[in-house]
Amino acid sequence: MDRDTETKAGNLRPGPAPGDMRASFQRFLSNPYLPNILTLGRISAVVVVILGLRLFGGGLRVCQVVSAFYLVAALSDLLDGYLARRFKNESNLGRFLDPMADKLLVASALIMLIPLGRVEAWVAFLIIAREIAVTSLRAVAVERGLVIAASPQGKQKTLAQNIALFCLLYHYPLLWADAHKVGTVILYVALFATYWSGFWYFHDFLAADRAKDGKASAPKAAAREAQGSEGAQNPAPPGGAQGPAGDEREGA
């Protein structure tokens, strides 16, 4: 019995063609809900970080699990942004959830590391305060219709924060390095990068705001200039050469 006969008899089921598998995977990646699902997954990692460290302490196994969840969540930030841009699935909900998920993830890790003695409270306060300030400024920018592109400084800040917090969450020796010491050093680098990127965000906001005000005032200035030139071309008649009404008043 040849292959075709076996297939017809139901004894042999042909597998999916490679082209069909690629098309199915492409449809999966282009799902408009996938970026937001990944973002919500990143928010759920916040729950794992908080409950894991609060209920089970800072033992080795707990830190391994919590740091693994944090790492996956941080990497998902890169993936959901890429998918949204690649397949043009950006949405207002995603624009709202994505930065909020990033801030919640960083803030939860910083706060939960304070009672474990792995992060100084003042460092956590400064980083969280900056994030709140930039988030508030972003809301003002949206209200004014300003578009402020992501800066390289902001991406560097996010990278430094994620590496530092992953190391501090792991805490124990990892391969050849002391994860806690490495994370502490990178956290101070991240603190500097956090305020450096915040400075540039405020700078870009003020520049965009001034540019918008300048564009708004340009038509008014042009109108005033046009009125001035029209008045220069058509001067008002002298006082003695008024219209008929003026002549009648003088004769009266």
* pLDDT, tens only, 118-176: 999 999 999 999 999 998 998 888 888 887 777 888 889 999 999 999 999 999 998 88
Cβ distance 80 to 38 under 8 Å?
yes
CA distance 36 to 91: 9
Percent of the chain with pLDDT over 70: 78
Residue 1 binned pLDDT confidence (cut-offs 50, 70, 90) = very low
The number of residues in the chain equals 252
232 pLDDT more than 60 = no
The CATH number assigned to the domain with range 31-217 reads 1.20.120.1760
Instruction: Write out pLDDT tens, residues 17-48.
Output: 666 777 777 777 777 788 888 899 999 999 99
pLDDT at position 35, please? 84
Question: Backbone phi, then psi, for 12, in 5-degree steps?
Answer: -135, 120
pLDDT at position 246, please? 45
Higher-pLDDT residue of 134 and 240 is 134
pLDDT at position 226, please? 60
Higher-pLDDT residue of 160 and 218 is 160
CA distance 82 to 61: 32
Residue 14 binned pLDDT confidence (cut-offs 50, 70, 90) = low
pLDDT at position 6, please? 47
pTM for this entry: 0.75
CA distance 250 to 97: 77
